[in-house]
């Protein structure tokens, strides 16, 4: 009984591990030789590689996901840092660019005024605004030229676009400029298109001027340019003052309501041109001055 059980146990264990190893080694070498010699296993390898390819990809997927995730966060952090640095650089550049742009605009304006001065043969000196009125309803400025620069009341102030105002008060080193938009400030003008003379008045608003007591039948149109007439001995002739933007005619009233837009930079720019005074005109006679009459017998008849 014991001998039969022992023989059964030995037979159930099969070949020893060493035998198995030798067998599989020989089989592997044989398969390798056959494959190398006759290429019998190429199709088998192709089929097997196709079958196990999804398994290989699935096995390497966690590593790929980890690597891509790490690269994403590193790239994201770097982009955020670069974006912040670029934003700071942009702010620094903008802060440096704004003064440069302001200087460029001032240079362009000064160049334009200088060209205008040479083209129109205007005598005068350049000035700069140093103070503006604190009251929004006061249309006055202070410029950095005064009595020490031979500035006198009545001189005309303009820019490259047109008339800005007039010197109304002079200090040793400063002068007060009353803008043409000051309420009731009058400037004798004429319509450039047809030469019709009139007077434009300030309305107390930097955006408009008005023409009063213009008959309804007067030849004036929207878009007409008003220039100084030069008949008052203060403003030189032909300097642009305003542009007609609105005309209201009512048959029930003898006068039209005409709104104009000032052409000069009354609320813009910092530099301006103070024109030299015109030649002194004879004093205007008083209303009650009888004047000098010539006897009829002294008048020569041609």
In a shared domain, residues 170 and 244: yes
Q: What is the pLDDT of residues 234-268, one digit of tens each?
A: 888 888 999 999 998 887 888 998 999 999 888 88
State pTM to two decimals.
0.61
Encode pLDDT of 102-131 as tens digits: 677 767 766 777 776 666 677 888 888 898
Which tokens belong to 81?
A: 């840092």
45 and 148 inside one domain: no
The residue whose two tokens read 């490259």 is 160
What mean pLDDT do residues 63-86 have? 80
Radius of gyration of the chain (CA): 49
Does 141 share its domain with 237? yes
Domain co-membership, 163 together with 255: yes
293 belongs to a structural domain: no
Task: Report the C-alpha gap between 160 and 100 in whole angstroms.
Answer: 21
How many angstroms separate the CA atoms of 255 and 209, rounded? Answer: 16
Residue 84 shares a structural domain with residue 132: no
Mean pLDDT score of the chain: 80
Residue 118 lies in a domain: no
Instruction: Tell which residue, 215, 200, 204, has the closest CA to residue 245.
Output: 200
133 and 60 co-located in one domain: no
| Element containing residue 65 per DSSP (H, E) | helix 42-120
User: 160 falls in which pLDDT band (50, 70, 90)?
Assistant: confident
Mean pLDDT lowest among 8-12, 54-58, 63-67, 165-169 = 8-12
Residue 302: DSSP 8-state: -
CA dist., res. 100 & res. 122, Å (int) = 30
Domain match, 56 and 143 both: no
> Distance (Å, rounded) from C-alpha 84 to C-alpha 78?
10
Can you give the pLDDT at residue 194? 92
- Pair 176, 83 in one domain: no
Give the range of the structural domain holding residue 70, as residue numbers without chain letter.
17-95
Does some domain include residue 145? yes
* Residue 208 and residue 226 in contact, taking contact as beta carbons nearer than 8 Å: no
CATH of the domain at 140: 2.40.10.340
């Amino acid at each position: 009984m014991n001998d039969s059980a022992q023989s059964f146990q030995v037979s159930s264990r099969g070949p020893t591990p060493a035998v198995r190893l030798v067998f599989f080694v020989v089989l592997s070498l044989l398969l390798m030789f056959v494959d190398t010699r006759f290429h019998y296993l190429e199709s088998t390898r192709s089929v097997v590689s196709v079958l196990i390819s999804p398994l290989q990809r699935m096995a390497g997927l966690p590593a790929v996901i980890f690597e891509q995730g790490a690269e994403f966060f590193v790239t994201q952090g770097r982009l955020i840092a670069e974006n912040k640095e670029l934003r700071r650089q942009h702010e620094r550049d903008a802060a440096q660019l704004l003064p440069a742009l302001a200087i460029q605009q001032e240079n362009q304006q000064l160049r334009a005024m200088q060209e205008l001065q040479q083209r129109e043969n205007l005598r005068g000196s350049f000035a700069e605004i140093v103070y503006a009125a604190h009251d929004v309803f006061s249309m006055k400025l202070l410029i950095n030229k005064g009595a020490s620069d031979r500035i006198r009341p009545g001189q005309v102030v303009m820019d490259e676009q047109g008339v800005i105002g007039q010197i109304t008060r002079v200090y040793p080193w400063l002068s007060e400029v009353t803008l043409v938009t000051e309420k009731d400030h009058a400037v004798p003008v004429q319509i450039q298109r047809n030469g019709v003379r009139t007077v434009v008045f300030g309305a107390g608003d930097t955006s408009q001027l008005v023409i009063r007591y213009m008959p309804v039948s007067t030849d004036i149109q929207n878009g007409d340019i008003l220039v100084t007439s030069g008949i008052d001995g203060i403003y030189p002739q032909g300097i642009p003052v305003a542009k007609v933007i609105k005309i209201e005619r009512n048959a029930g009233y003898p006068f039209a309501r005409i709104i104009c837009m000032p052409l000069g930079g009354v609320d813009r720019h910092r530099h301006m041109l103070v024109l030299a005074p015109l030649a002194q005109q004879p004093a205007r006679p008083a209303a009650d001055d009888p004047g000098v009459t010539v006897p009829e017998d002294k008048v020569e008849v041609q």
